[in-house]
Structure 1
Amino acid sequence: MFARAVIAAVLAAPFVAQSVFAADCSRTYTVQEGDWCDTISAAKNVSTYQLAVVNTGNIDSSCDNLQVGNTICLGTVGEDCTTTYVVKQNDSCDLIAQNYQLNTTILYTNNPQIDAECSNIYIGEVLCVAKSIAVPPPPAGSSLPAATIPATATPANAHPSTSASVPSSTSTDAGNDDDLPWCDEL
């Protein structure tokens, strides 16, 4: 019986080692006094989502358990987005995608924590704006990291479907369709 257990362990060892090394950390950071997840993300070009995913189990969902001197992972080999953008007031997903010449599918794929309406981005959040898929997938069996606006954060835009600048001549009166080009011909 013992011999079978030893043989099974020896045969399984390469597969266990391979799965451990499959997510090798490509960049690390030592936590400093005053750090929190978004400041680390902004300073080190790592998205808020990616930082949460690669540190699942080490950093809690509210990022209030960082310990000065601890080393955290910033990215993993082959899944490390270093092209980032810090969300500002009045940003929307469409505007960010347009400014970085991305289609929104890539933006949402690299930032799966963003809801379909783009209503949960917040000022100071760091998004991956790479032109190809660059982030690790969400961890299996747990809730999606970084998917809610932190209690201390301010939403970027109360109207996520609008862009940052709306011309002053645009009417918001739902009954007035005189300025809509496709309605002029009806």
Structure 2
Amino acid sequence: MQLTRFIGVAGLLPALVAGRVTKLRRGVECYLDAAPDSSTLTCQTFADHWYITLADFQRVNPNVNCPNLDINTSYCVYGDVVPEPISSSSIPPPTSSSSSSSTPLTTTTSTQSSLVISSTPSTTTSTRTSPTVQTSSTSAPSPSVSPLLPGVASNCNRFYKIVSGDECDIVAAKNGITTAQLRSWNVINTSCSNLWLDYYVCVGIPGVTPSSTIRSTTSSAPTPTVSPVMPGHVSNCNRWDKVRSGDQCNTLAGRSGVSVTQLRSWNTQINAQCNNLWLDYYVCVGIPGVTPSPTTSTISSALTPTVSPVMPGYASNCNRWDKVRSGDQCDIIASRNGVTTAQIRTWNNQINAGCTNLWLGYYICVGVPVTPPSPVMPGIVVTCNRWHLIASGNQCDNIASRYGISIAQFRSWNTQVNAGCTNLWLGYYVCTRA
């Protein structure tokens, strides 16, 4: 008689399994039990919730009174049906090879997969045979790794431990197999959402040789100079960039002066939608022989004032000026130019704490170049000090309206934006003040 085993799969199962084996019911060895909630109050809905059949649910819950369930009772959702004990009366007595009267034999019953019947020591000289009765089941060899994701193929001979960020396609590529093979050797749902962190899955069975072409992208590559790195990078990568919050393929490519096509060709595990970037992991953004294109304008660190006269003590890289008028104070000048009083005093270090020594008719600094974000559209003026990230639906008029500027000003600060404003680059920055 064989053991009957089935597996319940659900997204929250790892958090519920505590590695315990509970014998709650006669003939059932239960590994996981759970109580129904208000949405799973029938046998069928509860079984569906745990991805098992109604027949399997009833098999490991022999006393259940379907279709109704008790919300205060826990039911087995993952377990073994153990063979019932074999009684001694069902086993015929062994025959003696002697004609003398035989000594009665005692039987030993067991609930395990094998049953042994042994004779009681005899005081007679007759020879007795003590047959061994065993079940015909053959158990699969125990895996050499632990813990194991439930449902692993019994003939598995290669295993892989799930790490943070793993998905079915990534695990398959790392191990030189297809996603279909991975799912056929493991009970993994269609969305691949039930991979359990730090559990082992099956990645090989006898007769299947891993593909060297798939594995070569990671296994043959020299050790990167940065860490951690996303899998699937090319072996000759010589430039890296760390994925930041909000990054997409276009922002990564633009920041590094490469195209999205190049980025994806150097990082083969980035999917078509580019929605599987791993935060704070490095991706490849360059290989030998590829020179990145410049993405930002060069800004001089020391600019000659374009106005006169100026108050002494101004910042050497000042690129915006305002003339002191009668009645001006630092807060008035700051408000007029959209900056703070602290910035005014930082950029003009000869202005005292009370701001009482402004020189009437002289210019003071009210702006310095701001380090551009990345990536930026080409043609932006070097004096830009405020930026806007192009989003879906943006046009010149709604950007200008948002920042209280005219379309003419916007185009004068973004010189490569055409007259129809039809060439804004999604995910790139444009200038909204200079």
TM range (shorter): 0.3 to 0.5
TM-score when scaled to structure 2? 0.18
Larger radius of gyration: 2
- Could you say which structure has the greater relative contact order, defined with CA pairs below 8 angstroms and 6 or more residues apart? 1
Normalized per residue, the structure richer in helix is: 1
TM-score when scaled to structure 1? 0.37
